[in-house]
Amino acid sequence: MIRSATPDDIPEIGAMIRELAAYERAEEQARATGEQLREALFGEHPAASALIAEDDDTGETVGYALWFPLFSTWTGTRGMHLEDLYVRPHARGAGHGKALLADLAAACRRNGYDRFEWWVLAWNTPTIDFYTSLGVELLDEWKVCRLSGEPLTELAAQAPEVVDPACDG
């Protein structure tokens, strides 16, 4: 069963985020707190949305998908960025990941979104194989750019004075 996440799911979502980070060999980078997740998903101005996959027989939470809207200047339309897709190891192969993706694809169509995008680690062959079996197009010509930590702080220090406070937010 796939359903929208609720505030009661925050502990499980946090646990699965840490499990995903461990699988992706980046456990030390998963620092989001329960309060941060609660604010991001259910606060006054949510930054993201999440779906929960439950085992039909036991009701156990076996996976999640966390996404947020994006906008394409090329198409002039919104799209969806999938930040996380995770199914716990013991539940893989039972269709939960595909069900989460199908539900998100249906949401894209209902909302008129032209794009549904996400990243996958280059070494994650089983997941890449799963995605390509669904017809996903891998965009090899694009590279992910990330600015964080001290380099982000240093560049921010070089910013001119903000003329329009509306852009500050």
d(CA 149, CA 163): 25
Q: Which of 91-130 are b and which e, b meaning 16 or more Cβ less than 10 Å from the residue's Cβ?
A: beeeebbebbbebbeeebeeeebeebebebeeeeeeeeeb
Q: Token pair of 111, please? A: 């909302």
The two structure tokens encoding residue 165: 């406070």
Exposure of 136 by Cβ count < 10 A (0-12 exposed, 13-18 middle, 19+ buried)?
middle
Catalytic residue among 64, 86, 113, 131: 131
23 among known catalytic residues: no
Residues serving a catalytic function are 131
